Amino acid sequence: MQTTISSKYQIVIPKPVRERLNLKPKQKLTVIEKDKMLILIPPSSLDELRGIAAGARTNKHREKKDRFI
């Protein structure tokens, strides 16, 4: 899928993506720029995040250049 940047630097998120991600008007998205890519991240509730790091190793850290933030 593709979208176009308007003269006001706005983009339209294609309908199939909006439906799959259950995006709503006026919903905020986090924007991350990394390696010439834009990543749009919808907010997650704490309940949705519960358990996502189960089993993660904490003794090894990623290189700073590989971190999103």
pLDDT of residue 69: 62
Domain ranges of the chain: 25-49
pLDDT of residue 43: 83
pLDDT of residue 47: 77
pLDDT of residue 68: 66
* Nearest by Cα to 23 from 14, 31, 32: 14
pTM: 0.59
Judge contact between 12 and 23, C-beta under 8 A: no
Q: Per residue of the chain (69 residues), what is the pLDDT tens digit? A: 899 999 999 999 999 999 999 999 999 999 999 999 999 998 877 777 777 777 777 666 667 776 666
